[in-house]
Structure 1
Amino acid sequence: MNLQIGNSYHGFKLKEKRTLHEINAEALIFEHDVTKAKLIKLICDDDNKVFAIGFRTPPDNSTGVPHIIEHSVLCGSRKFDTKEPFVELVKSSLNTFLNAMTYPDKTIYPIASRNEKDFYNLMDVYLDAVFYPNIYKHEEIFMQEGWSYKLENKDDELKYNGVVYSEMKGVYSSPDSYLYRQIPKIALSNTQYSNNSGGDPDYITDLSYEEFIAFHKKYYHPSNSYIFLYGDGDTDKELSFINDNYLKDFTYQEIDSEIKDEKEYESTREAVIEYGIGKDEDDKEKTYLNMNFIVDKSSNNELYFAFEILSHMLLTSSGAPLKKELLDKKVAKSVTGEYDNGMNQTMFTIIAKNSEESKKEEFKNIIFAKLEELVENGIDKDVIEASVNKVEFALREAESYGYPKGLIYYSKIMDSYLYGGDPLCHLQYEDVFKKIRSEMFNGYFEGLIKKYILENKNISLIVMKPHKGLNEEKEAKLKEKLKDIKNKMSDEELEEVIAKGKKLLERQNTPDKKENLDKIPSLSLEDINKKAEIVPTELRRNNGTDIIYHDFNTNKIAYVSLNFKSKCIAAEDVSYIRLLSDIIGKLNTEKYDYVKLNNVVNINIGEVSFTPTAFNDYSGNDRGFNPYFSIKFKSLMNNTEKSLEIIEEIIMKTIYNDKERLKQIIGDLKSRLQSMIIQNGHMVTYRRMLSYLSDKGAYDEKLYGLSYYKFICSINDSIEKDDFSVADKLKETAEKIFNRENLIASFSGDEEDYNLVSKQIVDFAGHLRNETVKSYSYDKKAGKLNEGILTQGEVNYVGKGGIFDRSKYTGALNVLETILSYDYLWNTVRVKGGAYGVFSLFRRDGSAAFLSYRDPNINKTINAYDGVPGYLENFDVDEKQMTKYVIGTISKLDQPLSNSSKADHGDACYFSKITGNMIQREREQVINTDVTTIRGFKNLIESILSEQCICALGNENKIKNDSIFDNFVSVK
């Protein structure tokens, strides 16, 4: 289709065409003739088509109204009048992405699918949802997704409930997340960014239904929209669909959604804020120190990339000079930072964790002194080249990490378009990098530091310090507040609250009408590819070295994995394997100090990781597993030999007894693990529970669970007492693992490249130790513990699970996951219970778990899990609904894989002995699942639940008040 600039196509005028060489796409920029809606199409040969519609939604307060609307518009609309069309789509679509996101200044609704029919179905539901939501008809949607009073009887305690309310209580429970939400409040106090678009739990309950409706009326109009299309779809057909079904019915509307600029400060802004820790917790070295610099407009394309490089240079890499200086001067145990280029004005942020309030001035002075030194003396050229290479490699590889590429591009477009800039500038980086490379050794980055940091007027300095018992104080105040609210209510008002609650519950309990469910567009089994996609995998032996080969096109990027069997480590020392992976590459070697090493790695290798992994063995019905230590790297093909040389230096010649460096790394690691426990509580709970059930579960928990955190705390305590025996242990662990006898390599690329790289791998293997190693067994499952893991968080993560005979595993259990996660559990735990998320998991190895995420309840959720067998006994849906569940399950199985993910998947199948026939058989089991199959799982689930294996992580007081736990573990 030859589109001409200036012509209109289905109501959209083509304003510009541009070729984007960097992403191999043709860009078309349209504006709707009537509404002035903006639309961009990126035409390329990617079959994973993306549609998104976004609205500029700057908040005027911190009630979270943009966030609550994002949830609520997906709860039924004009054409699709069911309680949750979004959930119906998750259950029944072949989507590769389906979600909605609230940002500080925009709300976006993206979908993706490789199936054209499905793509239009998803577009239809989403466009109807944003323009014609049922929020105008049903206040109960606001009550469910936002907040409401919870009161069943007049004598009951009055409480707050709501999905977003629970979600944001979880977010605010993490000190890291809390700080990040306070930064714009202080640094951008004269703009809308001073308000929290996600919602502050202290203010969410101030939002009225009328204000909620008014916000939607104001901002959710085509005149305030930014529409995006990506992929190999028919552009003419897409434009016709959007206009003829939706935009033609709207007129132009003037909408004031302007985002203000922050004024120049008169002086540095300083603030002290507090976060809660336990009453009996030591508050030493628990303070966060933070400094922020407002840089420039996000639409400045050169700075958009240049400051990302500078941020990596100064703070991200292990040898980053600013990070190193702060750690060396012992200002903090952990230093992080970022360049936030997703707002109207970009911001460079530095955070020092595990510090003291008394070190505030030292923190500030060290930052300025070090940056002045770098400007005066120049930044090391290797540091510069390493960071430029790192950022540019990531851009060119375009690894999207689970997101469709089109969505990544939409995000970059909005980073300029939303603020009136060139919408395509951030997708065109060739000229920027040419300029940077031509000037990078001539004071380019030093000039950026001088102009945008040292001479910056807009600087903020925040101290966030611990307050013992603050969370308990806030909880007590909240109880008192609710008690006071209730006392001031008349009998009529109390009856109204109870009546509204009953009306909400009635809506939640009333099944959608079949005729309404049938209106939600769906696919048929004929739309499914019956054949599973199998990653080509072949084991080759080259001069005594085993190499797994995956033959597919990688655009001349090598994906290599060096996998070392790690059964050579005794069971009591398993956590040292993970510690080795966390430390190696960050210490000096015989040839390089750790700063130089970091630079050499980033100059020559696109990305490298050190990861211990255990693979189940599915060749039989026993519960055996095989642990490995995997070194994965990706590089340009012409850099593989140098990459292997560097990795050899790291694994063979690391010097482990640098006491000060070990102290720094362990301290930083402990800090990061603390954050992980709060932010990923469901995974901590899941791993802890699996450790009760299987030997592999116990092994994994020592690597990635609470046990590893406790191990690191113990190591940190020893180091603080000048006990550095850990250095000898690490050296011993490395010498045992990095042995030629343990190595199985993997390579992904074409045959010609394999021939070259395989020889290099053989040479690498020839330099390894070649000794006979002892092999250990791991039979250390913990047995049923039923633990409550105590934190200062305000919400909970609740799990219950068990183990089943893995010979009973079938692909149909994937369908059961879909049904439970998006039907029974969704309705009981999320919709009615107010949790942010809930999952069911049934794995090939026979492990099973039910998990909730940011959950206000504990017992109520466990009771919901116990109700699963009864639900299955009465499970009865028609053939059409069953087909939807099957299609939704296939969607999960068919998520498109990036090249690196494809390589990892192929390796995992090899090590787990999962054959192509097994994958195909499980796919057929999914497709053939029917009502009888699902009912037949009742006994299996009863058996799993009867083990009474329970674990919950969350609020200390709530967990201690429950009598279901045999043990308590405190996380301080």
Structure 2
Amino acid sequence: MPTFEKRHSHAIPSLRSTIEVYVEPLSGAQHIHVANEHSELAFLVAFPTVPDTSDGRAHILEHLSLAGSKRYPVRDPFFAMMRRSTAPFMNAMTYADRTVYPYASTDRNDFFNLLDVYLDATFFPRLDYLNFLQEGWRHTLADGQLGYQGVVFNEMKGAFSDPMRAMYGGITAALLRGTTYEFVSGGDPLAIPDLTHRMLKDFHATHYHPSQAVFMTAGPIAATEIQERIAQRVLAEIPGVLPRLQPELADVATPRTAVIRVPAQAGRDDDFGFQLAWVTGESADAAVHYETRLLQAGLLGDASAPLARAMETAGFGRPSRLNGMDPGARQMLFHLGMAGLREEQADSARQLLWQALERTAEEGVPHAMLRAALRDIRFGQRDTSSGGMPNVLQRMLQAVPVVMRGGDVHGAFDSDKALGVLEERIADPAYFRNLVRAMLDNPARLEAAIVPDPGYFDARAALEKERLAGRQAALTEAERARIVADSAALDEQQRRRGDTSVLPRIHPSEVSRVTRTLPVVPAAPGGAFLFPVASNGISQARVQYDISALPPADWPWLQLYCELRQGLGVDGRDYQAASAWRKERVPVFAIGLQPSLGAGKPLALELQFLASGLEEDHAGIAEVLTAYVGSPRFDEYERIGFLAARLARSRLTNLAQAGNRYAALAAEAPLSALRRFEDAVGGATALPFTGEIERLAGTGEGRAVLAARLAQVHAALLGCPVSVLCAGSSGELAALAGAIVLPAPAAAAARSPAAPDDAAPLPDTSLAAPLARPLATPLANAALHAPGQVNHCSAAWAVPGPTHPDAAALSVAAQLMTNQLLHTAIREQGGAYGGHASNSPHAGIFSLASYRDPRLAATYADFAAAIEAMATRDFDTEQLEEAIIGVIKGLDRPLSPFDAVGVAWTEHRRGMDAATRQRFRERVLDCTLAEVRAAVDTWLRTAPASRAAFAGNLAQDLDGLVPVDLAQLAGAVGVAA
């Protein structure tokens, strides 16, 4: 039996982990194990995938690898295991030069169940022909007309709606020409039909071999236990060694130029852009990585940084969304660019960027800026926040490309050594100047003109139509018969219920009946809530204003306040000085709105100022919160106009990319106070406000209106109830809370707005003034439109909150409907990237949705059929138990210490105590099919759905939805001044 050999290990105290490196000498397979005592067990296997075409073979292979294997000949074991496992995270990702299959679980048996499935899926996939037609692409014949269908095909049509994707892909293709990065790894829908089933199988044989694999694991488990399973399941079955694949290195000896066309709205002449990009070295080289990271911090790290300052004060354009370091490819890239230009301003943008670099190469940057950058790296080393993915899995995914490209494994996890070197180097003022000079002298660069193309989608649709017409004209009767036969066979397979008995699973009886323990919200006699948590040396503080009493007309202004305040001056400092000062003191600062809705309670809304840092940063945390709460500046009219215009333009140029969110909120907002708030600040209902903000930002009088409104928001905010929340492992939390000095409401109101003596008088405005012609209701029953190639469909019903006996049954119903009905109808048969049901008890909403969907009317028919099927379908015990496990998995998702504090606070606001959560959990675990059917019949079948969709084109059957053009909507309504 093959045996792994331990090469070395490295303890990382700040992670409370030890990195162990193993190699299996016969195959060369690598295993990196992160040994620790954390609760989560994590696994991934990664393969270098380096296609030389844009037909999407790496991406389609990722889908097919999870669609049945040698030991588990089930049609979709991946999705089956998602409902048979308690793992909070399961996925697979295709990058430009690698494919990674990760998961994480807190249950040991579940971890090894998934290990068997993942190993067999990746090394021994069936790569079934019919699955290739379903997941990749196939021809269809509808009324004699030839067409395309397929999950990846439609997924990538949705991806091509993103102007950023088009720009980034164009830059890498031009700069890294002659390498795998020249191609679209996910697949270009115009090239995907060039891929054959045979090509896909050949690609697997050359890329998914043990000698190419990198295994990574983490958790309180011996590496040898995992290695024994890998050896038994994989290495003993696949002998031999293949040369390890590596992406090619681009040879860029002289500067290059490119013109890159991106999708854009019609009628604007200021959507041009200019981008510079450099190759700075190999990304697996720690010196290259951290020097490029310093370049990013020094040039772009805050508003006072020289390149950020130059772009933001140019008087034209704005920084593009692509600025800074890019470690995605084998060669590290560094981007600088401007957007929002008129065509004739592109050369001015180039001169601006180059001259700012030249000045920086001569003058350097403050030492404090570089010192703060190193502090931020150290903070990131300790940070245990998780977001949507377990923290340890995030670190593993970041380390994968370093390992695959031959870099320092330990350095990929531990930054201490690199920090020690950099701390010595930045002491020399010439060090950073020399980094900038080296970049200026580096000929491996690209200068790209970014050209907006309103006809982008029409041109692609015309090419697709032309190719289909040519193919149909050449179609033989035998080929026509083959398409019909393939469609029939695939339809039969999709309708056939698979035998999942060979797959392992976790039963409801195997999970705890006890709800998880959250931090206790303590008493706060002085208004300060203190949460001692094991936070790995990090502290967090929040100043929270309860703004629930402010009227809904204020909501868009409150959101604008949160999004602009961080970019403005404070405490006598202009915005540049304030940005640098704040960055020196804390690594994390944010302002945001936090809504919550409890059973039988009105909407609660908080506005939070949050700062986080290492324990030694307590003084900085307190200073920053004190200043930003108590000493704002609203007299920087030009800055306010710039920030507002940038924010508005970003939203208005990404309408298609946000289409799924717009559709969901439009459908759900009429039924839920929580969703109504979310729609008012970030949905389609907010677009008229966004359009008016952009117009106000363009004039001096308009900027004065914005400044006055922001000042009034602040004054109103300070009149609301306030509390302070501090969390961390330090015993100094009380001192931290006491150091945060909050202003008295009356004194604060007297200082706002703060305008200079020579400024124009502020308009007489009222915070409560609503939109002049507000949208009286959200845009339900609407087909929200922006140019695109796919749809997003949504339907919603009002349902009871978590304390109602039916809430648990509806949550189980959502899982059951997704697993047994919608996945087959919407994804497998319909070709959408996804289709699901969800129950949100705290919002009081049950919803059905599809994502990147080629259909619209047919999807709504499938939604209606799914609701009806819940009353008649003969679901068995196993299917019901899988649905129950799906709900429990969501309830038990692991939380980092600060996430747990946040959840505890939100549940406190909702009035959800431990006993209430316990009752909900027990109802889920004890749920019967009769209860599910009764709840569906009561709340869904007897009530009409609220519907809305994002429609990529309006020529299709809209199923009775009323067309609404999102771009026109943004210009349809004005704001009262």
Range of TM-score over shorter length: over 0.9
- Distance in 2 (CA, whole Å) between partners of 1:21 and 1:538 is 30
Structure 1 counterpart of 2:554, one-letter code: D
The reply on whether 1:390 has 2:376 as its aligned counterpart is: yes
In the alignment, is the contact (CA less than 8 A) between 2:269 and 2:343 conserved in 1? Answer: no
Query: Do residues 519 (structure 1) and 502 (structure 2) align?
Result: yes
**Distance in 1 between residues matched to 2:846 and 2:768, nearest whole Å:** 27
Distance 1:551 1:293 in 2: 46
Q: Structure 1 residue 198 and structure 2 residue 186: aligned?
A: yes
Q: Distance in 1 between matches of 2:173 and 2:135?
A: 25
From the superposition, tell whether residues 768 and 906 of structure 1 become closer, same or farther in structure 2 (CA, over 3 Å).
farther
- Residue matched to 1:755: 734
Does residue 967 of structure 2 align to residue 971 of structure 1? yes
Partner of 1:593: 574
Q: In 1, are the aligned partners of 2:806 and 2:935 still within 8 Å (CA)?
A: no
SS where residue 194 of structure 2 aligns?
coil
Deviation for aligned residue 1:965: 1.3
Residues 1:689 and 2:685 aligned together: no
Instruction: State how 1:253-652 maps to structure 2 within 5 Å.
Output: 253-255=241-243, 257-266=245-254, 268-278=255-265, 281-336=266-321, 337-443=323-429, 446-447=432-433, 449-513=435-499, 517-543=500-526, 545=527, 547-618=528-599, 620=600, 624-652=602-630
Partner amino acid, structure 2, of 1:837: G
What stretches of structure 1 of length at least 5 have no aligned partner? 1-8
Q: Compared with structure 1, are the counterparts of its residues 554 and 18 closer, same or farther at alpha carbon in structure 2 (3 Å cutoff)?
A: closer
User: Is 2:685 aligned against 1:707?
Assistant: yes
Partner SS state of residue 51, structure 1:
strand
Range with bigger deviation, 848-857 or 416-425:
416-425
Return the letter of the residue paired with 1:832: Q
Match of 2:89 among 97, 100, 113: 97
SS in 1 for 2:697: helix
After TM superposition, give the deviation of residue 795 of structure 1 in Å: 1.0
Cα deviation code 1:275-311 (max 9, x no counterpart): 3335xx2131112321110011112112212322321
Q: Number of paired residues?
A: 945
- Secondary structure in 1 matching 2:216: strand
Pairing of 1:208-223 with structure 2 (within 5 A): 208-223=196-211
- What is the CA deviation profile of residues 166-224 of structure 1, one whole-angstrom value per residue up to 9, with x for unaligned ones? 11111111101221222211110021111121111111111111111110111111111
Mapped partners of 1:239, 1:47: distance in 2: 20
How many angstroms apart in 2 are the aligned matches of 1:229 and 1:34? 21
Which residue of 1 is the match for residue 21 of structure 2?
29
Shift of 1:95: 0.6
Point out the more displaced range, 96-105 or 451-460. 451-460
Which amino acid letter does the alignment assign opposite residue 144 of structure 1? Q
Distance 1:894 1:603 in 2: 37
Q: Is the 8 A contact 1:568 1:775 kept in 2?
A: no
Q: Give, in angstroms, the shift of residue 617 of structure 1.
A: 2.7
* Partner residue, 1:6: none
CA-based RMSD of the aligned residues comes to 2.5
Aligned to 2:99: 107
- Mapped partners of 1:292, 1:319: distance in 2: 22
Quote the Cα distance in structure 1 between the aligned partners of 2:382 and 2:730. Answer: 23
1: distance between equivalents of 2:298 and 2:652?
A: 25
Match of 1:82 in 2: 74
- What is the aligned partner in structure 1 of residue 114 from structure 2? 122
Deviation at 1:941, TM superposition (A): 4.9
1:324 Cα offset (Å): 2.0
1:244 deviates by 1.5
Deviation at 1:783, TM superposition (A): 6.2
* Aligned twin of 1:884: 882
Displacement of 1:675 after TM fit?
5.3
Match in the other structure for 2:974: none
Matches within 5 A, 1:2-41: 11-41=3-33
Structure 1 runs, 4 residues or longer, greater than 6 Å off: 770-781
CA distance, structure 1, for counterparts of residue 797 and residue 507 of structure 2: 34
Structure 1 residue 777: Cα displacement: 14
Q: Whole-Å Cα distance in 1 between the matches of residues 769 and 547 of structure 2? A: 11
Deviation at 1:52, TM superposition (A): 1.0
Cα distance in 1 between the residues matched to 2:247 and 2:780: 53
Quote the offset at 1:163 in angstroms.
Answer: 0.7
In 2, distance between residues paired with 1:868 and 1:560?
A: 46
**Partner residue of 2:914 out of 913, 916, 922:** 916
CA distance in 2 between counterparts of 1:925 and 1:374 reads 63
1:657 Cα offset (Å): 2.9
Offset of residue 927 of structure 1? 1.0
* Range that drifts further, 193-202 or 387-396: 387-396
Q: Which moved more, 1:827-836 or 1:479-488?
A: 479-488
Q: Secondary structure at the match of 2:954?
A: helix
Question: Counterpart amino acid of 2:953?
Answer: E
Which deviates the most, 229-238 or 108-117?
Answer: 229-238
Please report how far the alpha carbon of residue 570 of structure 1 lies from its aligned counterpart in structure 2 after TM superposition: 3.3
Residue 452 of structure 1 and its aligned partner are, at CA, apart by 4.1
The structure 2 residue matched to 1:718, chosen from 685, 696, 702, is 696
1:894 to 886, 892, 900: 892
Confirm or deny: 8 A CA contact 1:353 1:671 kept in the other structure: no
Q: 1:583 to 1:91 in 2, by over 3 A?
A: same
Q: Which moved more, 1:165-174 or 1:865-874?
A: 865-874
1:4 corresponds to which residue? none
- Which amino acid in the other structure matches residue 722 of structure 2? L
The equivalent residue for 2:758 is none
In the alignment, the residues of structure 2 paired with residue 369 and residue 783 of structure 1 have an alpha-carbon distance, to the nearest angstrom, of 48
Report the TM-score, using the length of structure 1 for normalisation.
0.93
Give the match's secondary structure for 1:414.
Answer: helix
2:952 to 941, 946, 955: 955
Question: 1:608-640: CA deviations, max 9, x gaps?
Answer: 11111221132x3x6x11111111221233433
Taking only the aligned residue pairs, the percentage that are identical comes to: 20
SS in structure 2 opposite 1:850? strand
Distance 2:536 2:9 in 1: 27
Go from structure 1 to structure 2 and tell me whether the alpha carbon gap of 1:288 and 1:201 turns closer, same or farther (over 3 Å shift). farther
**Aligned residues of 2:634 and 2:710 also touching (Cα < 8 A):** yes
Bigger mean CA deviation after superposition, 725-734 or 646-655: 646-655
Q: What is the CA deviation profile of residues 788-821 of structure 1, one whole-angstrom value per residue up to 9, with x for unaligned ones?
A: 1111121111111121344465223322222222
What do residues 317-366 of structure 1 show as CA deviations (whole Å, max 9, x unaligned)? Answer: 34432122022113423433131123211101123222233222222221
2:785 to 786, 790, 797: 790
Residue by residue over 1:117-154, the C-alpha shift from the partner in whole angstroms, topping out at 9 and shown as x without a partner, is 0000000001101111111xx211111111111115xx
Aligned residue type for 2:897: N
Match of 2:796 in 1: 801
SS in 2 for 1:602: helix
Instruction: Output the CA distance in 2 between the equivalents of 1:705 and 1:482.
Output: 37
Change in Cα spacing, 1:485 to 1:320, as seen in structure 2 (3 Å) is: same
Aligned letter for 1:817? A
Does residue 1:871 correspond to 2:869, yes or no?
yes
Amino acid at match of 1:966: V
Provide the C-alpha distance between the structure 1 equivalents of 2:319 and 2:799, rounded to a whole number of angstroms: 42
Q: Distance in 2 between matches of 1:315 and 1:372?
A: 15
Partner of 1:752: helix, strand, or coil? coil
Shift of 1:584: 0.6
Cα separation, 2, equivalents of 1:388 and 1:304: 13
- Report how far residue 519 of structure 1 moved: 0.8
User: Is the 8 Å Cα contact of residues 649 and 694 (structure 2) preserved in structure 1?
Assistant: no
State the 1:784 CA deviation.
Answer: 6.8
2:38 to 8, 24, 46: 46
Given the alignment of the two structures, is residue 729 of structure 1 paired with residue 719 of structure 2, yes or no?
A: no
Question: Which of 216, 221, 224 is 1:233 aligned to?
Answer: 221
What is the match of residue 238 of structure 2? 250
Q: Provide the residue aligned with 2:761 in structure 1.
A: none
**What is the Cα deviation at residue 692 of structure 1?**
2.2
What's the CA shift for 1:765? 5.8
* Aligned with residue 932 of structure 2, among 931, 934, 952: 934
Instruction: State the match for 1:66 in structure 2.
Output: 58
